[in-house]
C-alpha cells in the first residue's frame, strides 16, 4: 500500500477551502513550512465541532493555518476564543493578517513566547488543546495540558508518527524517543481515551474522561 497515494486520496476528499486558506496552503508548499495540511485540518475542525468547543488553546501555531480550522469550529459553535501561540513575532503578525482576512479577528488571542510557559500562565479550562511544538518538548508539556483541559475535552497532537520512525526499532534519536514516550503515556493513561489517526504525519486524539 502506497502511503502517499492514500494521503493524496484523503486530501482530494476535503471540501474546497476559502481562497485565503488555500493561499496559506500554497505558501507552505512554496516555503516548505510544516503546516498540518487539509486532512488533519478537517480532523481538528471536526473534533472541535463534535464537542462544541468554544475555548481552544494551540501550542505552536506558525502563521495560523491550524488556528483557522479551530476558529471555524468555534465560530460555528457561537463564538469563543482560540489562543494562537508562537515564539516568532513575524509569524504572529502573519497569522493576524490571515486570520483577520478569514473573519476570525474577534476570536483569536495572540501570544508571542514559549508555548508551554504561555499555557501555564493562562487560566483554563479549555475544550481543546492542540500541540505542534518542538517534538522533544511533548512529554513534559502533558502535565500542564492535563491541568488546563476540562473533563470531556480533547488533546490533539500532530506529528506523532514522525515519518514512520516511531515504528522503527532502530530509530532511537532523542526526538523519536520523546514522541514515543508521549504516545505511550497517553495510550496507557486510563483517564484518557486515545487514538492515533494515520493522517499525514500522525494525529493523536485523546479525550479526557
Ligand X SMILES: C[S@@+](CC[C@H](N)C(=O)[O-])C[C@H]1O[C@@H](n2cnc3c(N)ncnc32)[C@H](O)[C@@H]1O
Site of interaction with ligand X (CB under 6 A): 34-36, 60-62, 65-66, 85-88, 91, 114-116, 132-134, 137
If the CB atoms of residues 180 and 200 are measured against ligand X, the closer one turns out to be 200
Query: How deeply is 174 buried, as exposed, middle or buried, from its count of CB atoms within 10 A (0-12, 13-18, 19+)?
Result: exposed
CB of 125 to ligand X, least distance (A): 21
* 11 vs 65: CA distance, rounded Å: 16
- Beta pairing class for 192-197 and 203-208: antiparallel
If the CB atoms of residues 65 and 192 are measured against ligand X, the closer one turns out to be 65
Q: What 3-state class would DSSP assign to 52? A: coil
CB of 195 to ligand X, least distance (A): 20
CB of 34 to ligand X, least distance (A): 4
If the CB atoms of residues 93 and 193 are measured against ligand X, the closer one turns out to be 93
DSSP strands (E only) in 78-167: 81-86, 108-112, 126-131, 149-158
If the CB atoms of residues 3 and 33 are measured against ligand X, the closer one turns out to be 33
CB of 90 to ligand X, least distance (A): 10
The number of beta carbons lying within 10 Å of the beta carbon of residue 143 is 11
Amino acid at each position: 500500500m502506497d502511503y502517499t497515494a492514500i494521503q493524496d486520496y484523503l486530501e482530494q476528499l476535503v471540501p474546497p477551502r476559502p481562497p485565503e486558506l488555500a493561499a496559506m496552503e500554497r505558501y507552505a508548499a512554496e516555503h516548505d513550512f510544516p503546516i498540518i495540511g487539509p486532512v488533519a485540518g478537517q480532523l481538528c475542525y471536526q473534533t472541535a465541532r463534535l464537542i462544541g468547543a468554544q475555548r481552544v488553546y494551540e501550542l505552536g501555531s506558525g502563521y495560523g493555518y491550524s488556528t483557522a480550522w479551530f476558529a471555524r469550529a468555534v465560530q460555528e459553535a457561537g463564538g469563543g476564543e482560540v489562543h494562537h501561540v508562537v515564539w516568532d513575532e513575524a509569524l504572529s503578525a502573519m497569522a493576524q493578517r490571515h486570520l483577520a482576512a478569514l473573519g476570525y479577528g474577534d476570536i483569536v488571542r495572540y501570544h508571542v513566547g514559549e508555548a508551554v510557559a504561555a499555557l501555564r500562565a493562562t487560566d483554563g479550562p479549555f475544550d481543546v488543546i492542540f500541540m505542534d511544538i518542538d517534538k522533544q518538548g511533548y512529554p513534559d508539556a502533558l502535565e500542564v495540558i492535563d491541568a488546563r483541559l476540562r473533563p470531556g475535552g480533547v488533546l490533539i497532537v500532530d506529528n506523532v508518527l514522525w515519518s514512520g520512525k516511531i515504528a522503527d526499532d532502530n530509530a532511537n534519536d532523542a526526538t523519536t524517543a520523546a514522541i514515543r514516550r508521549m504516545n505511550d503515556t497517553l495510550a496507557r493513561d486510563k483517564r484518557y481515551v486515545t487514538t492515533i489517526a494515520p493522517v499525514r504525519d500522525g494525529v493523536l486524539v485523546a479525550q479526557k474522561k
